[in-house]
A and B are shown apart, each in its own frame.
Chain A
């Protein structure tokens, strides 16, 4: 049953591949602007690389979030999902999972290229990928709550960023902290375990909260 739901989400999203590409291109462009704005020196860029890539990832993730529920909301599918026999949180979870597969995973895959552009290599680069792999699903999960709460609200896109960017702060801090730690020769076990803990916490809590938010906004 769950695979069917996931398949539906993926097929629908892949019918419009430009959506997936847009947020990926946005990610690449934002990161590429920093050397132009700061300095082309690799020593300078190395210092800010984890932060730049992570902030760009937060923004790219947020851009694609506003569409998480809005298409289904507009054509009435969401209303049917609300009264369907399957638990709503499971439907929401499959939507979030599809969102992560199509917006988070591409970021993870392209991040080594951008990391190298900014002078990261070796272990810090691997750590950057690992933090993105652990962190982007957390972003999608928390973001889904915001996307549900701003559903059908005027000015929803800007409002969404105001609601969820502050909640992304812990992920940003520990992810960039992990890359920095590895870069200066320490191990980053603590940060990685905390990111994993955030992921577990968000997995338990966010689909349920997003489903509750959807119920509030649709009742």
Chain B
């Protein structure tokens, strides 16, 4: 609708120009290769540090190398949920369509990282504590976070009207993000009460700085990957939702 003219707000705040899907689409297209390249470079560096630089752990042996993807995946899962809720809030309050789309595009990637955090947690837990699943506070919170992601994705998929789907799931994301800390602390309290196994990364007296470096590099690689894949998903969303616009018709007929 507002694709053809610049509003007064856009003139005073040039950045707002990119809140317009028409302007954002080519920008995102230009950014994707850069973030892909960064993701590949950081993955290679991260993998190199994880396997060849970081020494064998004296207590856990080699299985602790799982930590280098487990911890970054867990970080990403929580971080993406918060970012998603921020986009949802911006979309709801200022009625910015692109912001809604970003929230929706982040959710599948967030759910994947949550699942990966659970999966790698299980495969780290088996050699370390002898069981694939322990009701540890972090793993349990991750499980509930996965349910929150699945609820968001299902609600979005169940509503046919895209605008209504975006607004309804956005509200759900906001309710969820208020609840995430409450859920986390109640699960933590429940865990100490029942003296369950506690999975602690920071427990070891001094985590070698090389391990922190490896996790940080991997987290950065995941972050770059997320940006690239989310931008690609948003571009498809833009085409679908703006299909009536002239520029979209031109864009899809150009190379088809």
Contacts and interface: CB of A to CB of B under 8 A. Distances in A.
Contact of B154 (A162, A180, A198): A162
A166 B175 contact: no
Contact of A166 (B151, B164, B168): B151
Interface centre among A153, A159, A177 (most CB of B within 10 A): A153
B179 interface: yes
Main secondary structure of the interface of B (DSSP, over half): helix
Contact of B187 (A159, A163, A173): A173
Q: How large is the interface on A (under 10, 10 to 19, 20 to 34, 35 or more residues)?
A: 20 to 34
A175 to B, nearest CB: 11
A165 B147 contact: yes
A149 B144 contact: no
Contacts of B231: none
B186 A216 contact: no
B150 A162 contact: yes
Interface centre among B172, B175, B179, B189 (most CB of A within 10 A): B175
Nearest to A176: B190
Contacts of A216: 164, 167-168, 171
A31 interface: no
Contact of B151 (A153, A163, A173): A163
B121 interface: no
A14 interface: no
A85 interface: no
Contact of A153 (B159, B167, B174): B159
Interface residues of B, number: 26
Contacts of A93: none
A195 to B, nearest CB: 11
Interface string B137-175: 000000010011011001100110000100110011011
B219 to A, nearest CB: 25
A166 B144 contact: yes
30 contacts: A145-B171, A149-B172, A153-B155, A153-B159, A154-B158, A155-B158, A156-B158, A159-B154, A162-B147, A162-B151, A163-B151, A166-B148, A166-B151, A166-B179, A167-B176, A167-B179, A167-B183, A169-B144, A169-B183, A170-B183, A170-B186, A173-B186, A173-B187, A173-B190, A174-B189, A177-B189, A209-B171, A209-B174, A213-B168, A216-B167
Given A159-B154, A159-B158, 14 more contacts: A145-B171, A149-B168, A153-B155, A162-B150, A162-B154, A163-B151, A163-B154, A166-B144, A167-B183, A169-B186, A170-B182, A170-B186, A173-B189, A216-B164
